[in-house]
Amino acid sequence: MDKFNRDLLVLFKQELNPQAIEHEVELLHELLFYVEKIDNVVVSYEVVNVNKYSITSEKQIVRETISHRQLKPFVFLNNKN
């Protein structure tokens, strides 16, 4: 797995040595790598299209909507959580 260049703020309840901190950050990177895959993101969103009065969770439509740089007016991505 490639390491990502991202800024993370990690807070710990107790003092840890640098190796333990590095291990925790690596586990966090692995978790984020899995969660941020497009197939996992698509499952957790639905598209609300007010223009067509529709709400859809169809994976292909959600994937296409996410891939747009800018959404059309009154088309929203809604997180199911």
pLDDT tens for 11-26 read: 888 888 989 888 988 8
pTM of this structure: 0.64
Dihedral sign computed on CA atoms, order 38, 31, 28, 19: negative
Q: What are phi and psi of 68, to 5 degrees?
A: -70, 140
Give the separation between CA 25 and CA 78, rounded to whole angstroms. 29
First vs last Cα of the chain: how many Å apart?
28
Give the separation between CA 62 and CA 56, rounded to whole angstroms. 8
pLDDT tens for 61-80 read: 999 999 988 989 999 999 99
> Do 31 and 57 touch, CB atoms closer than 8 A?
no
Domain ranges of the chain: 16-81
According to the model, what pLDDT value does residue 2 have? 60
